[in-house]
Structures are given as C-alpha cells and as structure tokens.
Chain A
Amino acid sequence: METPTQSEVSGGKRLVSAIAFLVLGVAVVSTVGFTLHSVSADSQKKSYATVNGTADVNGATLKHAFVSESVFPDDATARANHVNRTNTHPWPFYTEEHLVLPAHSLVTMTLKVYDGGEKLNTNYFAKVLGTVDNTMLVDGQQVSSLAPDAVQHTFTIHGLPTSTQDSLFVNIPLPKMSDAEMEKNGFHTVVFSFVTGGAGEYVWNCEYPCGDGTYAKFGAVMGQNGYMSGKVSVVNG
C-alpha cells in the first residue's frame, strides 16, 4: 500500500488561503445579492401621501391623506403632458410605483388616466371594490362599476390575507379613453377613498391585460415590475 507524499505547502499558509477564499466567496455572493437588490430598489422611488386635516368615516375620526397618480400609454404621451420620464420599453405605465400611506387613515387618491382600452379577461375587475361605499368618482360622477369593455387599466391593491397585518384589498377599474380623445391628450380624472388599517406591506398592480401580449393579451409589461405594478407601504406616524 503506497502512502501519499507530504504536501509542500505549510499548514499555516493553507489556513490563510482557505479563510481568504471563504471571505472572498461570501463577498462575491453578497455583492451579487446587493447588486440585484439595488437594481430592483432603484425603480422603487417612494411617493408619500400628504396628510391634510381629518375625515369622519362611519363615526370614527381619521387622518385624511391625499395621493395622486397618473397612467400614460407611453413615455412620449407623458412628456407631452409635462411629466418627464424616459422608459426602457415603450409600454404603458403608472407614474408612481411605491406609495407610502399613513396607517388608520382615510386615503383619497386621484388618478389621471390617459390610455385607451379593450375588454377585461375577468369581468369582476370592472367593479369598484374596497373603497368607501364601493364607489369612485369619474370626472365628478359617482359610479360603482364600469362596463367590462370600457376599462383601460385597473388599480388593484393586494396583500397576503393570512398575514398578521390587516388585510387591504382595493380594486379600481379605470375608464378608457377613445382613440379620438387620446389624440387630443384627453384624460379622465378618477377619485376614490379607502381606509387603511395598521402598518403593513402590500403590492398593487394592474389587472387589465395590457401590452399586446402573446397569450391572453397579457404583454411583457405585465410580467415585470415597474410599469403596471408596485408596492404600497402603510406606515405608522
């Protein structure tokens, strides 16, 4: 039986080399991780709701917060309406991605919507859900639902209902613009109010199948964060 000959490298040198390699390895993996993290986080500019006075909802007095958003069919239309934005893709988009809302408040959101539309895959999303009285104001008129083929996008907030945070579900169908109105840079103004619970993390997205996709009219824009989806943080204080 032959035995291996001794190594020419001393034990101390080996240990240093191994520890250096381990540190390097952890550093490489962490760098990859934090790069991905920061690449993702870049597109998550926060938009804070402004609190202005109080509101009475069902007998309770709550802080009243206001926040606004716009929806454009592409960045060119946005620039035509004095919203400066350059996107990687010629896709429709919401201007604000990460909304920060106060907890236990009445939030009134104003949406200016500039895009055209088609028919929803799921008609349920044509209903106004989760707002005060389950209604919204479209150009000043109170409505509780739209026709499923008159929708341009939806603004839908989801959370994980089994989480320990309060549940928050809001669905707002946004009325579409006709082609003629779009030519003239026309828009609808949609206003709705909903009540937030305690602090928590939620997501919002559009449930209208937009972007000329290859299946179920669901384009690439629906599969990526940043255009038709974002986050909602409800925070204390």
Chain B
Amino acid sequence: MSTLDMTSTHSRPVPHPKRSLITRLHMGTGVVVGIIFAALAYYALKSSLLTYTDKVADPLTPHTDNIVLLGSMFAWSIGFLVGIGAFIGPWRWMIGKDLTDEEILYMAGDGQGIKRYFKYCTDHKVVGIQYLVGVMTLLGVGGTMAMMIRTNLARPGGHFVTATVYNSLVGLHGITMIIAMIIVATGPFGNYIMPIMIGAYDMAFPRLNALSWWVLFTAIPVLCSAWFLGGIPTGWTAYAPLSVQAGPGMNAFVATIIIFAVSTAVAGMNITTTVVAMRTKGMKWNRVPIFVIGSTISVALAIPAFPTFMLAMVQTGLDRTFNTGFFDANMGGSGWLYANLFWIMGHPEVYVILIPGVAALMEIVPVFVRKPLFSYNAAIMGFAGIAGLSVLVWAHHMYIAGWAPSLNGPFMVTTEMISIPTGLLFLVLIGTLWRGKPWMKLPMLSVFAFIWDFLIGGITGIYLSDVPADGYLHGSMYVTAHFHFTLMGAALTGAIGGLAYWYPKMTGRMLNERAGYISFWFVQIGFNVLFLGMFMAGAEGQPRRVMDYAAVFAHSNMISTIGAYGVGIGMIILLWAVIHSWTKGTIAPMNPWGAKTLEWTVPYPVPLTNFDELPVITSDPYGYGKGK
C-alpha cells in the first residue's frame, strides 16, 4: 500500500504533482460540473419524454415530472463527484495505470492548509473534520426546524405556518436529524480519532473515505431542494402509498436516501475493514478501546440495514415514475411491504445511532473516574446482544398495522429481550462509577445526563413494546417523546460528550468550559421539560405529527414549547463555544485528560501519517486504579 511509503515524507514540503488534473479540482469545480450534469439531464429527459406529457387518460402513463426531477438529482450527485475528481483514480486503473506517489500525497492534502477541507482529500483527519462541520450544520438546520414545529404547536389553533409547511417541517426535521445522528459519532470521531486509537497510519481505503463524505455532501442540496419543490407530507418514515401520492418534493427525499445509503455503505465497509485489518501490533481484540468496538459494531449493523431502505426508496421512485405499483394495493402491491422494508432498516438504525454514543461515553468514564472500565466483556456482550437482537424486532413498529397480528407475540418477546443487553450497558457505566470520584469536566457531565435520559427512554420503551399498551400509545406524542429520549437524550448527549472529550485532539484547543456548562444545563433541563410535556400530551391522547390539536392538550404542549426554546438557546451557546474555542480557546496539551488510549500520544497537529513508528500495545487502555 502506497500510503505506507509516506511515513518519512510527511514533514518536508512536497512539490505539487506537475500537470495533474487533481491539483485543479475542488468543491467549486464539483458544484459547477454537478450543476452542468443536472441541467443536461433535466433538458435531455424533459425533451425525450415530451411524448408522454399529454394528459393521457391511461393511468399507466409515466409521470414525467418525477422522472425529470429524480434524473436531475442523481445527475447532480454524479456530476459533483466527477467535478471534484472522485473518479480520477478508478479511471487510471481502468486504463491500466494508477496515481503517482506525488499525486497520492497531494490527495492526502499534505501541506495545503485550509484548502484541503474543500478538496477530495484522503486524510482521515480531514474527513473527520468535514464530517464534524457537516454534522453540526445538519443539526443546526434540523434544530431550527424543531423550533418552528414547537412554535406552531405552542397553542391550539396556532397556525403559525400552513399545513403544507408544517408537514414538511416534520418530515424534513426527521430525516435531517436521522442523517445527522447516524453520522454524529462515527463520522467525526470514527474518522478522525479511531484510526489513531488503533494505531494505524490511515483508514484502510483512504479514497473511499473521501468518497463517503463527498457522496453524503451531494445529498444535502438534494434534501434542501425538497423545500422548493413543495415539501414532503409524509414524515421521515415516508410511508407508502402516501409517498407515492405526494407532490414533487418527495423526489428529493427519495434521491437523498438513495445517495445517503451509498455513503453509509462505503463508510461502513471502510471502518469495519480498518478495525479488522489495521490494528497495530499487540492490539488484540481484548485490548481494543471500547469506542472502537462500539463504532465497528454500529457500522457493521448499518451495512446490511441501509440497503433495504435504499431498495424501498428505489421502489417508491419507480411507483412514482413508472406506476410499478409495488406499494399500491389497487395494483396488487402492498403498503405493508414498504413498512416491512422500512423497519427492517429502521430498527437496527436506531441502534446504529445509539451504540457509538454509548461507546464514546464508555471511553470517557474510566478516564474521568480513574478506574478501569467495569466489565469490558459485559460492554461487548451488551453491544453485540443489542446488534444481534435489533435485526429481529422490526415489526414492533407494526403491531397495530394489521399485518400479521399473530406475529405480535414473537416480536414482543424479542423486543423485551433487548432490555437485557441494554441493562449490561447500564451496568458497565454504573460499575465504573461505583466508588469513584468523577472528575467533573464537560465530557463527564454528559455521562450523568446520558444515564438519566436513557433510563427514561428505556423504561418507556418497555411499555411501548408491550402490545396492549402499544395499542393505546402507538402513533401518539408518547412515542415521539420516547424516541427523543433515546436518540437525543442518549445518543446525542453521548456524541456531545465525545466532542468535548476529543475536541482538544481535533482542534488543538480546549472547549470553553464555562460556556459548555451553561449550554449543558440549558440543553438538559430544556430537553427534559420538553419531552416530559410530550409524554403528557401522548398519554392524554394527542397523535403525532399533527399541526393543530384540541384545547385539552394546551398545557402539555405549552410546556414542551418552553422546554424546546431552552434546548435551542443551549445549543446556540454550544455552537458558539465550538466555533470560538476552535481559534481562540486555550491551547491544549497533548493529553489534557491523562488518558491512556493512543490518540493522546500524538501531538497536535497530528502528523499526516499519525505515527512516525507504529506503537506496540501490551495492555488494554484501562489500566487505571490502585490495588487489585
């Protein structure tokens, strides 16, 4: 592998490769070529489909608007990748050559300063920062939409926005946050920190690493275009046949998911291979840091899960364009088919989101309590058990769908069983806390918040998994509150803890502590108030995703809205802290927390190949504590 040859060259300036196309391509050329591709596809499809545009009474006439829009969106994505130079390597291979060593080094962004963040850069640390900025942008956009939703629901009959806008807010908030949460820990930390943690020079497939980010990047404008195409009425679940019926904005959703699924497949494969194949000498499986284990299990779970969502979206796209009727019961299809495909992805997916967040916190606790991680094996059993069971529980989202009621019992059994591996995660955390004196720094605070939030999320999950209780609660605000406790209260809190913990290594500076504390309390108190109100509304009987509600729900909704504004203020403060500390924070020492994992043995800025000489590992990184 040619990256290995770069070991000794990282410190001296390297001349740019002469006459190479690579040096001239960047995000700007990507956008230009992407727009050109999209425009070409638009006009080509539009003119070639003219014959169909007459309003023929035949219900099987293709829907040209949808074909043109979908085609243009995919063309944009491919065009952008062409324009940023993603296919230069594969093209060279095809004609029997490869990139020169100089080009490879150039692609790694060596000596290019801030410019490399806007290029097809293969350095895992650059990709990690790209993901971090991308995630924060998505969370900001999704959070803004959440504020709009809560504003509209502040009082009954509010009508702050119209139903079209409200439904789009709900759907786009959902999908934006889901995408953000899937990559929130494995994107920034999985890419930046994890290869250093396992003592590798880079990821196994550096070019695929860049590809996974830039493919994801192309999905963002596509998703945003939904707003200008009339929005989406379906929520993030995009249930068919509502999604088949929906207006042109739905095409943006379909294209986004297909593009995003490509990105996760590439990233998942890359991370898994890196961890399996590139651990440094001595890092046996029982010495691997728990964050690495968690992230790997998470992405490995995503690899089989997302293709089903992609498939469901391909079918939705075909139903919307060529009247294939996969999900149209009037044509012999079935909406239940969609629901099954969706939740076969959807339930593993929530654990894809959750596990890296928990794993990040498990990495943090031993450092701040100065005790070994309690029962490393139980942690792995917990993750593995959750991952294993999570593929067998999807139909608990369909207890009341009417599809196979006789399967409700078996799915209830598997779902309730998940509380056992989940319990192990709690045991690991509290076992490590027991008899410790936690060092009350920002990352540690997240651990406490996580335990409270995930406990509430977990217990309410037990009622929801019980069929008779779900008969009442399903589709109500109660469900919304439950999954926000797990996805936001647990997974996002874990990721924020991870950010506070690894921030010094990723930026060279400490995250502003006072702002961090203020933000923490605003977010956590606001969050609990917000979703306590939503539990009330759900228990009272308010359905999810409604733009208006009866007066009996007025109090609980007002409580929720007040809490939401608290979360919003806290998040803005956190964003300030992240941006401000990046350039103006106190300079961080190499190992500010006194941790024992490998990423704290390298200086900032981290050298291009991380280590001059790969370290040799003789024990796991949790050798804290005195006595036996």
Residues of A that sit less than 8 Å from B by CB: 1-9, 14, 17-18, 21-22, 25-26, 28-29, 32-33, 36-37, 39-40, 43-44, 160-165, 200-201, 203, 212-216, 218, 220, 223-226, 229, 231
Contact = CB atoms under 8 A, between A and B. Distances in A.
Given A9-B584, A214-B66, 17 more contacts: A3-B589, A14-B512, A18-B577, A29-B147, A32-B144, A36-B148, A36-B169, A37-B160, A39-B165, A162-B550, A164-B550, A214-B245, A215-B245, A223-B233, A224-B230, A225-B162, A225-B164
Contacts of B584: 7-9, 14
Nearest to B580: A17
Contact of A163 (B161, B231, B233, B551): B551
Interface of B: 55, 63, 66, 144, 147-148, 151, 156-157, 159-165, 169, 230-231, 233, 241, 244-248, 319-320, 323, 328, 330, 510, 512, 515, 548-552, 568-569, 572-573, 575-577, 579-580, 584-592, 594
Nearest to A38: B161
A14 B590 contact: no
A160 B151 CA distance: 19
Nearest to B512: A14
Nearest to B66: A214
Given A8-B584, A18-B515, A220-B230, A214 B576 contact: no
A220 B585 contact: no
Contacts of A220: 230, 246-248
A195 B156 CA distance: 23
Contact of B319 (A161, A164, A212, A214): A214
Contacts of A9: 584
Contacts of B157: 163, 165, 200-201
Contact of B55 (A8, A14, A212): A212
Given A163-B551, A220-B247, A225-B162, A6 B586 contact: yes
Contact of A32 (B148, B241, B246, B585): B148
Contact of A7 (B169, B231, B586): B586
Contact of A1 (B231, B323, B586, B594): B594
A213 B248 CA distance: 11
Contact of B572 (A25, A200, A225): A25
Interface centre among A8, A37, A161 (most CB of B within 10 A): A37
Contact of A4 (B552, B587, B594): B587
17 contacts: A2-B592, A4-B510, A4-B589, A14-B580, A17-B576, A18-B573, A18-B580, A26-B568, A37-B161, A165-B157, A165-B551, A201-B159, A212-B55, A215-B244, A223-B230, A223-B233, A223-B246
A1 B577 CA distance: 25
Contacts of A26: 568-569, 572
Nearest to A33: B148
Contacts of A203: 163
Contacts of B572: 21-22, 25-26
Nearest to A203: B163
Given A4-B592, A36-B161, A214-B245, A160 B549 contact: yes
B301 to A, nearest CB: 33
A161 B548 CA distance: 12
A14 B330 CA distance: 63
A216 B328 CA distance: 9
Contacts of B162: 40, 43-44, 225-226
B339 to A, nearest CB: 16
Given A17-B576, A22-B569, A223-B164, A216 B241 contact: yes
A72 B589 CA distance: 72
Nearest to B577: A18
Given A4-B586, A162-B552, A215-B245, A225 B163 contact: yes
A223 B162 CA distance: 12
